[in-house]
């Protein structure tokens, strides 16, 4: 009997659990190890922040999903691994051995040299509901990070304040233009939109210090009632400390088969890995979702001693950025469209995704 351990309840692993409800692999037993019983769907974080969705609408019960799949669930965090002896060590004292192991643990927030005690983050993602409920009701929340997550959360907090008649202002600080990886025209349009909605934002400013009620940038001092850091991903130390092949910044390096470059019995998907053939690929949930079927197929084929398939990331993909008030901006390559219709499409896509796992 082979033991397959899935570490983390990310997009790719929940697809594996869903497939295990449909397919039987009697030659293997599966264990899911996750730091929390629930996985929260980040695609609906902005809607929850605005008050459109309740907490139950954005959460996936990993315990129940595992039960339906015939998978053992273990609530624990993997703190150390010994790949030569195919062993992992957990924070609750559990020591597990495996024949195959897969990691889908996401990433942590890049703290950009800022003291973590002074800021909030949304990772691990099961802390998001409590974090955002406290922040959105404070009088002057401040968000750091001009990427998609920073813009969505800022506009969602602002929209909620307007809807319920709550006083206060919302401030966003970015070290670049908004959506720095998008075409310049998209950034310009989004900046005009943010201004029209009443969001206070400052671009191309570096954070120097954060204190309990004040934040100092390269150009100004601002008051705040809470700081949320949305400055992009950073890796965990687990893989480097375990002696696995990694990128310089600590992400697990995997082949197109999603196997570790150094240990083929180790698989990985989502934000915690970097594809050796596409090292510049963004950490984006779209890729994690599309890696799910390949990951499942290759775990299955490894157990059956069959040739593995490969993952090829798409060059372009549709993204929809929530802009508050049940509006959104649809982006595809250089095309973009802002309004009510993109939000309706986003709501349908997200709701359909959650229906698969609840």
How big is the CA angle at 177 (ends 172 and 179), to the nearest 5 degrees? 85
Residue ranges of domains in the chain: 2-107+235-303, 116-232, 317-358
CATH architecture, range 2-107+235-303: 3-Layer(bba) Sandwich (3.50)
Q: Give the per-residue pLDDT at 317.
A: 87
- Rounded Cα distance between 39 and 5, Å, is 17
Q: What is the pLDDT of residue 308?
A: 98
Contact in structure between 111 and 229 (CB atoms under 8 Å): yes
Task: Please tell me the distance from the alpha carbon of residue 126 to that of residue 40, in angstroms, as a whole number.
Answer: 6
pLDDT at 112 over 70: no
Between 24 and 62, the more confident residue is 62
Question: pLDDT tier at 232 (50, 70, 90 boundaries)?
Answer: confident
Angstrom distance (rounded) from CA 98 to CA 180:
42
44 half-sphere exposure, CB direction, 13 A CA radius: 24
Q: Mind listing the pLDDT tens digit for each residue in 171-190?
A: 999 999 999 999 999 999 99
Q: Do 2-107+235-303 and 116-232 come out as alike in CATH topology?
A: yes
Q: What DSSP string describes 296-338?
A: HHHHHHHHTT---------S---EEEE-SSS-EEEEETTEEEE
pLDDT confidence tier of residue 127, bands split at 50, 70 and 90: very high
Is residue 320 within 8 Å of 329, Cβ to Cβ? Answer: yes
Q: Are 221 and 171 in contact (CB under 8 A)?
A: no
**Which residue, chain included where needed, has tokens 């809607």?**
47
- Res 301 pLDDT > 60: yes
Q: Is the pLDDT of residue 116 over 60?
A: no
CATH topology for the 116-232 domain = FAD/NAD(P)-binding domain (3.50.50)
């Amino acid at each position: 009997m082979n033991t397959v351990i899935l570490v983390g309840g990310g997009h790719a692993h929940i697809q594996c659990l869903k497939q295990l409800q449909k397919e039987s692999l009697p030659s293997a037993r599966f264990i899911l190890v996750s730091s929390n019983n629930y996985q929260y769907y980040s695609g609906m974080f902005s809607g929850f922040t605005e008050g459109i969705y309740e907490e139950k609408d954005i959460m996936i019960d990993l315990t129940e999903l595992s039960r339906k799949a015939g998978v053992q669930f273990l609530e624990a965090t993997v703190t150390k691994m010994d790949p030569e002896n195919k062993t992992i060590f957990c924070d609750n004292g559990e020591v597990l051995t495996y024949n195959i192991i897969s990691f889908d643990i996401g990433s942590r927030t890049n703290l950009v040299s800022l003291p973590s005690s002074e800021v909030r983050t949304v990772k691990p993602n099961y802390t998001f509901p409590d974090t955002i409920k406290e922040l959105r009701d404070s009088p002057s929340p401040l968000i750091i990070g001009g990427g998609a997550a920073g813009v969505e959360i800022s506009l969602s907090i602002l929209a909620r304040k307007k809807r319920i008649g709550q006083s206060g202002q919302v401030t966003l600080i970015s070290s670049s233009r908004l959506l720095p990886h998008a075409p310049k025209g998209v950034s310009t349009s989004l900046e005009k939109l943010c201004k029209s909605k009443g969001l206070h934002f400052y671009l191309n400013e570096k954070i120097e210090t954060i204190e309990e009620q004040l934040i100092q940038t390269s150009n100004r001092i601002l008051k705040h009632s809470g700081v949320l850091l949305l400055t992009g991903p950073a890796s965990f130390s687990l893989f480097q400390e375990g002696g696995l092949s990694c990128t310089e910044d600590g992400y697990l390096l995997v082949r197109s088969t999603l196997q570790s470059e150094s240990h083929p019995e180790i698989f990985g998907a989502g934000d915690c890995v970097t594809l050796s053939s596409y090292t510049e690929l963004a950490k984006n949930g779209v890729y994690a979702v599309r890696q799910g079927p390949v990951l499942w197929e290759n775990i299955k084929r490894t157990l059956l001693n069959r040739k593995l398939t490969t993952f090829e990331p798409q060059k372009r993909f549709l993204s929809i950025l929530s802009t508050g008030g049940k509006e959104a901006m649809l982006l595809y390559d250089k095309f973009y469209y802002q309004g009510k219709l993109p939000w309706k499409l986003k709501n349908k896509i997200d709701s359909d995704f959650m229906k698969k796992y609840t």
